[in-house]
Chain A
Amino acid sequence: MTVSTGSTNGVERTDLVSVTIDGVQVSVPKDTLVIRAAEQAGVQIPRFCDHPLLAPVGACRQCLVDIPDAGNGRGFPKPQASCTLPVAEGMVVNTQATSPAADKAQQGIMEFLLVNHPLDCPVCDKGGECPLQNQAMSNGRGESRFEGVKRTYPKPINISAQVLLDRERCVLCARCTRFSEQIAGDPFIALVERGALQQVGIYEKEPLQSYFSGNTIQICPVGALTSAEYRFRSRPFDLVSTPSVAEHDACGSAIRVDHRRGKVMRRLAGNDPEVNEEWITDKDRFAFTYAQQPDRLTYPQVRGEDGELRPASWPEAFAVAARGLQAAGATGVLTGGRVTAEDAFAYSTFARVALGTNDVDFRARPLSSEEAEFLAAEVALTHPDTGSPTYADLESAATVVLLGLEPEDEAGAIFLRLRKAHQQHGTRVLAVAPYRSRGLRKMGGQAIIAAPGAEAAVIESLLEQAEYGVDSTAVILVGERLATSPGALSAAAALARKTGAKLAWVPRRAGDRGAVEAGCLPTLLPGGRPVSDPAARVDAAASWGVDTLPDAPGRDADAIVAALVDGQLGGLVIGGVDPDDTSNPAATRAAVEAASFVVALELRETDVTRAADVVFPVAPVSDKAGTFITWEGRPRPFEAVFSNPASLPDLRILAGIAEELGHPLGFRTVADVRARMAEMGPWDGQRPATPSYSSGGGAAGAMGGVRIASWKQMVDLGTMQDGDEHLRATARMPVVRVPAAIFEQHGQLVTLTGDRGSVTLPAVINKELPDDVVWVPANSVGRGVLADLASPGSTVTVKGAGA
């Protein structure tokens, strides 16, 4: 798909500057650095500190070149660092390829760099993919003349729980410290000491806390920074690399999966300037071991006559599942938010074609019917070509409004892009939020304080306040949490419509956006077709090759749960749903128990699979091809990393069951599904109306308690972060943020008690929080807020728990 990049080719063309590099004339945009102009002439100048996404520093001096003419007829008497020197019209550059002086200068620097660098390449993780090793070969002398004593340090030291530093290998290029300062904005990693004893250091009292620290490892040009996860695990030349797309959020970050003998060894950031540039979150980088856990399901199971699950063949499991679902009668489908677009299409098709129901929902979290209407009207079928905002738009927008979205925790690539936008273009970030979070501060953002549940009124007020600058040049990003705030999504849609601002919905999970397109909603068929529109149903039915489709809107996830509990539904097909994520975890567990027949499609053994009647193991993303749709609506297809015939995607399993049910879905493979999706295409008929729910006035203090603001932190107890204790150790310490009055009354340790239980956590003062609001991380202790503390929208009481 081609997407508007926001780049202005017309301007660049008039701004070209002609330079001669090693006798080759090239035309490059004004202000291009010589080192990059040389790349266009086909000359690779060696470098260490230089990085295209970091500000020039000129520290390592490896990229010295000879400039016999600076464009003004005069040359530089000394070699110049090409990473800090912009081109000038008529400039003549002689690199190491043609200038003996430049070559000698580079060889001299390389020799100096190796003076204090250990010759431990045979045991160094970087050996084989090391810029120092490679450039020492290409631009250095074979033998060192240094016979003295090298600088040594005790090794290694922890920069964080995950990032380790071997100081003696460091060439002090400052890429890591500059990344932390310029890109991630996380302090407490800096160069300390001086001379050859200069080193990367941390502030012992405040550990480096960063969700992006893994990027420093990737851009380290030597083996000084390693991850606890990958250190000493593999050699680069033993790895096979496959490009893929990260599955942990809706950002669609490009990644590179490095694997060996059928096992993922590590993941690196891919380079996609349109999406994640060259950065990914630590979760995208390190959280892949969930698929390698011992509780991973590897074969189908059916519940035997003795009531126990037993292994079964695939054909038997398909048959048992089909028989059971037929017997169970009305069946609901819960897909979870981790599905690929193709799997989502398969669930949607399975529900309509094989089960004849609209009782299908991807939302395994608190939800509302207002949200379903919002998704159908404002989100489905939007993508960059239809004017939906992109990463580039975030960068060029004058104002970006975040509604119920904390990008640093929930969408890391958006956070980095917004921080860049703020730093480089002065973009103003506004957030309707309970307090000004650390992420918002790093984006220079302003918080418009809103208590949970009261967002709608605040969003409405943005319209009237011109000083916020929400106009047609603004971008509005709506988080999935807004579903729980009555009227907020309606208000957001109204704000976008009245101001002309671009609007996008940013869910947390990689599959959510694709599931909307695939119609995994009780009111929506694939391609944005409303269930309530007879023409849309006919259109979809024709594409699916069935006579009719159920015409009544289905039940949403909460209603499916309720209907299972009270017996209106008998069967349940359930994908990657963790009951603790849902609005009512106890009810969801009860629904699984109450259902007369449960088919579970899961990666690993869970409470749901233990209670299911047929359990199908599904392929993790590494084992299947698929597509994630980003929050922008941009499809991000990826191919399978591994070819594992025993690991089937959800769509193949659903196709198998459907065939046994006598309602074949018309596909068995990812390629088939892609063809069917293309064939069905987007709905070109009338779109559903935008919801206009009122805020209902909120329930401020109606119950006399304290309201809970909450979201999931990036690194928490999510099951897809299982298996890497180092990553989990980088999670932020769970605390309750409380307003000053509550802190003064109850002290440093508080117990919150709600309708589902109690949680005791350290309290931290936050003076921006409204008086009757406390913030807790949604899934950082126990089974999470919804299971252990309070139902969505309810209130809690606070008590001091100190000694």
Chain B
Amino acid sequence: MTSILTPVLTDNWGDERAWTLASYEARGGYDALKKALTMAPDDIISAVKDSGLRGRGGAGFPTGMKWSFIPQDNPKPKYLVVNADESEPGTCKDIPLMMASPHTLVEGVIISSFAIRGNKAFIYIRGEVLHVIRRVQAAVAEAYAAGHLGTNIHGSGYDLDIVVHAGAGAYICGEETALLEGLEGRRGQPRLRPPFPAVAGLYASPTVINNVESIASVPSIVGNGAEWFASMGTEKSKGFGIFSLSGHVNRPGQYEAPLGITLRELVDLAGGIRAGHQLKFWTPGGSSTPLLTAEHLDLPLDFEGMAGAGTMLGTRALQLFDETVCVVRAVLRWTEFYKHESCGKCTPCREGTWWLVQTLAALEKGQGSESDLDLLLDQCDNILGRSFCALGDGATSPITSSIKHFRDEYLAHLTHGGCPFDASRSTAWAGLEAMA
């Protein structure tokens, strides 16, 4: 059964002290770097293009194409910025990766920077995960000591410095231009585009911003070839990815598999939904991706499959909820998150999330009327596509999708005069109280 899995990034996670340089190199780590340094930078970009690697941060933009947008005739320095501000609710792939095998990322950063001809790279890590920041810092220090970083790397004449930057804990800083603002020392709020970061990004210089997992995939593509990578996955969503299962499954965790795997297969790998319960709804890629139900268990988890179901692959943060969970309650919690994390720059997101929370909170308490569902949908319609960045769009996803699939459950709150669910039944310790 485990043959479905394709452990590449996660392959060494179980090794003794996997995060050390010695452990990483014992498995052939940094061999891809040595190979890359003998290649022409444009050939690396071509290889990444040919591999079909698409951005693993959620949007799925082809990575090689992004790199090719960097104007090489621009006299300004070129920068690589790694977006390690993993904050999407449910998402837990980059942080374990950096914790378990930071050198995979560091090697990817070096190869990617070499490809875009940048001499400075930044890893912007979410500020709350101090242990991960320290681990990446230690890995960077080890890489310097081993000559993988610094000047004239392995005699190639190529120089690179990596700066590990700690964010200050704002969801919005996962938005790439807000991240750049934060990196420059300003308040994290998204920037007006154009100019796009490829033309004028960090310090108004050409900048590539990639997700941790995208960059960490690069060494394997360079080492094994584009064809190897492209042989996995589906026609338009090639390669492998880390699927993070959380919620009501027996063995939550990270499952690395080719894109296009189905949730049914993943749930089987994770030991099934917790005993005695059935899957009720799930998010394919974090709370900003419209949620799905048990009907969608056999859809391929790739960019096209999810788009076909009216949702998005996102960060493959598969949060699974069984029938004990009140969808209204879950959606309210998510909406509170968006209200808390709205940066305040644009009106629809700032004011819309403030209002959505109040409308939802009333509904959860059984107050209001059926027309409030239409009001909610209209509020979402006035936010979606109107806000400055995608945060506002994301805030509407759980609401519109939950009303689409569970309208009756909303109405039950009104007829029941409050939430008809026993919240304690959804907890991990439900049914264990007698033993305590």
Contact = CB atoms under 8 A, between A and B. Distances in A.
Interface string B335-349: 000011111111110
B359 A198 contact: no
Given A148-B358, A148-B359, A196 B385 contact: no
Interface string B351-393: 1111100110010000000000001001001110111100000
Contacts of B352: 112
Given A172-B344, A194-B342, A194-B343, A115 B386 contact: no
A109 B347 contact: yes
Contacts of A112: 347-348, 350-352, 355, 382
A434 B342 CA distance: 49
A57 B346 CA distance: 10
Nearest to A78: B385
Interface stretch (A5-13, A58-66, A349-357): A58-66
Contacts of A58: 192, 346, 388
A193 interface: yes
Interface residues of B, number: 32
Interface in B308-355: 339-348, 350-355
Interface string B152-188: 0000000000000000001010000000000000010
Interface in B2-59: none
A79 B354 contact: no
Contacts of A693: none
Contact of B358 (A108, A149, A194, A197): A149
Nearest to A77: B385
Contacts of B344: 172, 191, 193-198
B402 to A, nearest CB: 20
B386 A78 contact: yes
Contacts of B346: 58-61
A264 interface: no
Chain A contact-residue range equals 35 or more
Contact of A115 (B192, B342, B354, B378): B354
A181 B413 CA distance: 50
B355 A148 contact: yes
Contact of A191 (B187, B341, B358): B187
A108 B339 contact: no
Contacts of B355: 112, 115, 146, 148
B156 to A, nearest CB: 39
A112 B341 CA distance: 17
A361 B339 CA distance: 68
A113 interface: yes
Contact of B351 (A56, A59, A115): A115
Given A59-B346, A61-B346, A79 B386 contact: yes
A34 to B, nearest CB: 14
Interface in A40-86: 56-62, 64, 77-79, 84
A111 interface: yes
A61 B351 contact: no
A86 to B, nearest CB: 10
A769 B178 CA distance: 42
A171 interface: yes
B179 to A, nearest CB: 15
Nearest to B359: A148
B343 A79 contact: no
Given A84-B192, A172-B350, A196-B354, A79 B387 contact: no
Nearest to A107: B382
A532 B112 CA distance: 81
B358 A105 contact: no
B381 A195 contact: no
A61 B170 contact: no
Nearest to A148: B358
Nearest to A198: B344
Given A108-B386, A196-B351, A56 B339 contact: no
A109 B340 contact: no
A705 B385 CA distance: 70
Contacts of B354: 115-116, 151, 195-196
A109 B350 contact: no
Given A115-B354, A195-B341, A62 B388 contact: no
A451 to B, nearest CB: 39
A146 B376 CA distance: 11
Given A112-B382, A146-B355, A195-B354, A61 B387 contact: yes
A570 to B, nearest CB: 69
B353 A195 contact: yes
A61 B362 CA distance: 28
Contacts of B358: 148-149
Highest count of chain B CB atoms <10 Å: which of A59, A61, A104, A109: A61
Nearest to B371: A145
A59 B381 CA distance: 18
A151 B350 CA distance: 12
Contact of B340 (A59, A190, A195): A195
A171 B344 CA distance: 10
A113 B388 contact: no
A108 B341 CA distance: 21
Contacts of A111: 382
A79 B385 contact: yes
A61 B386 contact: yes
B382 A194 contact: no
Contacts of B382: 104-105, 108-109, 111-112
B436 to A, nearest CB: 39
Interface string A176-201: 00000000000000110111111000
B342 A62 contact: no
Contacts of A197: 344
B411 to A, nearest CB: 19
Interface in A107-159: 108-109, 111-113, 115-116, 145-146, 148-149, 151
A49 to B, nearest CB: 9
Given A61-B346, A112-B348, A196-B350, A105 B340 contact: no
Nearest to B352: A112
A113 B386 CA distance: 13
Nearest to B187: A191
Contacts of B386: 61, 64, 78-79, 105, 108-109
Nearest to B343: A194
A472 B340 CA distance: 58
A78 B354 CA distance: 23
Contacts of B381: 108
A197 B353 CA distance: 12
Given A61-B347, A112-B350, A195-B340, 14 more contacts: A64-B386, A78-B386, A84-B192, A108-B381, A113-B351, A146-B355, A171-B347, A172-B345, A191-B344, A193-B344, A195-B341, A196-B342, A196-B344, A198-B350
19 contacts: A59-B346, A59-B347, A61-B348, A61-B386, A84-B192, A108-B348, A108-B386, A112-B348, A116-B351, A151-B354, A194-B172, A194-B343, A194-B344, A195-B340, A195-B341, A195-B342, A195-B343, A195-B354, A196-B350
Interface of B: 170, 172, 187, 192, 339-348, 350-355, 358-359, 362, 375, 378, 381-383, 385-388
